[in-house]
Amino acid sequence: MKKMILGTTVCASLLLVALGGCGQKEEIQGTIESGKVTETSTSLSGGVEEVAGEATLKDDGYFKEIITGDKDPKVKLEAEYKTDWTDSSWENVDFNIDKVKVVEVDKFKDDQEKDYKGLMSMHYTLENKGEEEVKVRPKEATIVLKDGKEVKADHFLDIWDDVFAKDHKKDGYIHFKFNDTDQIDSIKEIKISFTGHKKDSSEDKVDHTYDVTLPLELAK
């Protein structure tokens, strides 16, 4: 039977998308680590299944920066994870990533008209305690699945503000896009690197590098 996935729970809590439609509804449950995936479909004659309702990203705070204009892809599966990664290895800079959300969508077209089926958003906080502004730039991310498979994810460079003012704290989201979504419910960890640049450094000079590995667990 073809799966039509609309929502997930995280840990013991159930995140359920409100659905409407006609016909007999069949609820099927699968497991994402310690949480559950809830699938709801409408069974029609001849074994055809039709999604009974739509969940989109337009009102999701994790993705509101990239869902603009007529871009509002339908969500097929979503999972929210928590992490406690912090790093103070660069002088006067405290960097933290505490939440990650991954969604599988029917289709997302970026500004270059390239299609993607997966989106990932990380919530970060960066505090620059120094006396000069710094720049921090994400590079390509790698999603590592439980079976060892690695999926590359590209950063949304066009909406990232890499400047962090002196004596200032800022939080926001880092966005990535990818195509291989066969095992989106089997993510083990995410690897990502960042480069840090001081205000007066040349564009080619890297003053600091963050090599981040985020082991993930479903958020409570």
Query: Is the pLDDT higher at 129 or at 52?
Result: 129
Q: What pTM did the predictor assign?
A: 0.71
Q: Is 161 exposed, middle or buried (0-12, 13-18, 19+ CB in 10 A)?
A: exposed
Asked if residues 214 and 188 have their Cβ atoms less than 8 Å apart, the reply is no
Flag the least confident range among 84-93, 118-127, 151-160: 151-160
Domains and CATH numbers, the chain: 1-55 (no CATH), 79-218 (2.60.40.4170)
Among 38-52, 97-111, 118-132, 151-165, the range of highest mean pLDDT: 118-132
Q: What is the mean pLDDT of residues 79-101?
A: 92
Q: Is 177 exposed, middle or buried (0-12, 13-18, 19+ CB in 10 A)?
A: buried
Q: What is the pLDDT of residues 122-144, one digit of tens each?
A: 999 999 999 999 999 998 899 99
Could you tell me the maximum CA-CA distance found in the chain, to the nearest angstrom?
A: 68
**Cα gap 176→152, rounded to integer Å:** 9
